[in-house]
Structure 1
Amino acid sequence: MNIASLLLQLLFAMLFMIIQFVALFWFLARGRTYWILPGETGSTWDDYRGNPEIVENAKRIVTLLKGVKEFKEMGGEAIRGLLLCGPPGTGKSYLAQVIANEAQVPFAYASAPSFQNMFFGVGNLKVMGIYKKARKLAKVYGACIIFIDEIDAIGMSRQGGGGGGMMGGLMGMGGSGILNELLLQMDPPNIDNNWFAKLLRSLGLRKKKAERPAVLTIGATNLPDVLDQALLRPWPF
């Protein structure tokens, strides 16, 4: 009887420790991201004051976001990356909000340093989580925008030591692993995320091409020279 009671106590203690660890990991993996749905900000081109050339290019992005379905039907692909460079206070984040509001698509605001964490893998979970939610919203609204401020914090060149060294990489502070995850999420393969669609495809009953939700990542930085070359290539930015 004593042995059974001791085993139950040990089992309870182990379950309690596991629950605590999972709860702590879940709490740390929650990224501080602000989600803005269409119409909540009301920011328009009339409110933005900036370079006319930038506004003209931004209006083209809005046209692309509004016509995602039509562009796909014509064989095109939705734009997946946009990089805004400029000194602090030049309105990079505000421009991204205007683009989202004019296109009437959801907008997520995140700061790149918030993805960093002392525990290995937590930053990757934060990146995966924000893109997972963005894809769900893109299916509802047609597209979604993720704005990452100070993207140089996780997008520094890996050749220049942006990974944070051995100790930084083990503790999760380095940006190399997070950068790899970001690149994967920005340009993922065409897959069926719905379980029913996966089942039909596995049975050979679904011949339609797997669709990739239109998620536009807008990165902002005042240090473009330190960014990794993988971020500066035509895709994703």
Structure 2
Amino acid sequence: MTVSSVENSVDSASPLSRLAPLEAILFDIDGTLCDSDPFHYQAYREMLPEIGFNGGVPITQEFYAEFISGKHNEDVATFLFPDDHQRGIKFTDDKEAMFRRLAKDKMQAVNGLYKLKKWIEDRGLRRAAVTNAPRKNAELVISTLGLSDFFEFVILGSECEHAKPYPDPYLKALELLKVSKDHTFIFEDSVSGIKAGVAAGMPVVGLLTGNPEHFLMEAKPAFLIKNFEDPKLWAALEELDRKSGVTRSAA
């Protein structure tokens, strides 16, 4: 490893090392546990032209990333149908049903997720899933990935006063787990989610599973990783172990 590589690893670890001893890790679901965004994108690509949105021209990946990805359906409904919110809600409900049909039995965990799961379980850390997705979607993803017994709580944006990008869902997770924001960090993949975590006062590790790097960086994540195998992540976790006095291997 070069000197610059070592320095980069140390820099990447720094935002998390101050959390020692670590108490909990919070996870978004869509795009974080699995790369489900292609199924959401496909549903919007097929359904929006049917209602004449954008003159019937299918939306682009860039448009989806900037205006839809990670946002709560209430906000998406208002964006798509500013003059008819109820129609917007009906549209997003239908879109979620299409997503579940498209994604069923096809979702795969982001690389390294089960390695990270074991690392978390070995250290007895608390964990919760925090999402803007409807409960049916959240349960579908979690059960498909075999994580139903892993998460202690699943917090929905719709069950909080405000959904992401407000901090409320992450603050509720801290309350339910009875842990401190000073000893907890978050995994997220969207601008909306990163903003929510940062607003809640916690470092957020952003995943580059679907959204452009420059969009995510604007939301001020602690650092970005390609997936849960990324050496930057494991350098940070090893530093956390060292500061916490944990001697077990991260592998």
What TM-score, normalized to structure 2?
A: 0.29
Higher gyration radius (CA) = 1
Where relative contact order (Cα < 8 A, 6+ residues apart) is larger, the structure is 2
